[in-house]
Amino acid sequence: MAYLLLFTGKGGVGKSTISAASAVHHASQGLRTLLVSSDPAHSTDDVLGIPIKSKATRVSETIPLWAKNLNAEELAGDFFTKLQTLMESSFGTLPGFDSSMLSDLSNFPGMDEAFAMEEVERLCSSADYDLIVFDTAPTGHTLKALSAPDYLNTFLLKVLRMKAKIENLKGFFLKKGDTSKLVDLLEDLITRIERLKSLLRDPNYVSINLVSIATEAGYGECYRTVRYLDGMGIPIQQIVVNHIIPNFGEEVWESADNNPAAALIKCEYDIQQPYLARYKTLTSSQDIRLVGMTRLPFEPRSSRLSEVALTLWGERGLRFQITPSLESKENALILHIPRMGGIKWSKNNWSYSFKDNKFQIPLERPEGKIKRRRKGDSVVLTWGD
């Protein structure tokens, strides 16, 4: 079972760079790491310096790092195609059928991101990786995705009302099971998104981090996000303030009167200081770890991400304690499963399912009978003598 390290923030604050550097850091520690992006700008490709597709791509041969882009619109499109088929078969011949209901739902802001986040939740249930690093779309999409169940419930209520009208129409022929399939489809999606929100509320296995910058717009969006997630009971572990101008000292600042370059940097430094003070106040009041990243003298991409990772995850940097999902021993395998209660095992004990998703343990199955026992949040599989 994979841990989840999630980064969100306003567009253009360096979220993709921070996410990629974090993935490089953990993969360098030997953790099987998957970097996932749902950002439609595909910034991950630019940061890593290689094309990333919808299927997991091995990024490096020296460290266990993979990356994939989630096409949120495509994921949502598949769902709405199925939904449209069921809507038409259930209500298409009903006088006064309002087809705009479907378009209203598909155009709901954040709906596509909801499907991307649901796919990440599925990846976290797999033993293929130890860590999922999720680079989300800009904050607004992410927050709207988390509110999707409320909108879906409203839409479902409309469907149920239409169903009641149909049942009251004498002589109206409704295909058996069509409406129930439609209701089941909507209820299943609501359940899956609520399941994701439940996962995000568990700080033992999920770290939610905001990436921001020291400006009025950056702080304002960060503050609103903190308040919004706090209201949903979803804790934020850390805030990264990016692109900070370091204090170059009195000698440099005193030269600003005669040095236009120093004057420009000093001006930006002075502008950032009150916002940095506000970040400190906010994180102190919310018990959130504050991490600062100074502006870099190089382009933070490709092979230089490891340099970013050293600062980002250094002594004063980010924190996240992770246990590898698989631990191999002689004639034994320990599988760490954070959400043990939702797991169902197959008869051969080498595959399992979590809710509706089935997974295979990503190691060659040994010969002979496998014995299984539970140990805390782990399952110990043994075989042989």
Is the pLDDT score of 148 beyond 80? no
Beta-carbon contacts of residue 307 (< 8 Å; ≥ 6 apart) = 298, 300
Q: What secondary structure, in 3-state letters, does 104-164 show?
A: HHHCCCCHHHHHHHHHHHHHHCCCCCCEEEEECCCHHHHHHHHCHHHHHHHHHHHHHHHHH
Structure tokens at 138: 């800009």
Nearest residue to 200 (alpha-carbon basis) of 270, 145, 240, 244: 145
**Quick check: 20 and 48 in contact, CB under 8 A?**
yes
Is the pLDDT score of 338 beyond 80? no
**What is the spatial distance between Cα 50 and Cα 61, in angstroms, rounded to a whole number?**
14
**Quick check: 283 and 272 in contact, CB under 8 A?**
no
Top-ranked range on mean pLDDT: pick from 3-17, 58-72, 100-114, 277-291? 277-291
Nearest residue to 196 (alpha-carbon basis) of 270, 146, 268: 146
C-alpha dihedral (46, 48, 49, 53), degrees to nearest 10 = -80
pLDDT digits (tens, 9 = 90+) for 163-222: 666 666 544 444 444 567 777 777 777 777 777 788 888 888 899 999 999 999 999 999
Domain residue spans of the chain: 326-383
Amino acid type, 107? N
Which position has the higher pLDDT, 381 or 157?
A: 381
Q: What is the mean pLDDT of residues 125-152?
A: 80
pLDDT digits (tens, 9 = 90+) for 7-66: 999 888 999 999 999 999 999 999 999 999 987 767 889 999 999 988 999 999 999 999
Is the pLDDT score of 151 beyond 70? no
Q: What is the mean pLDDT of residues 315-328?
A: 92
Percent of the chain with pLDDT over 70: 84
Structure tokens at 70: 């989630």
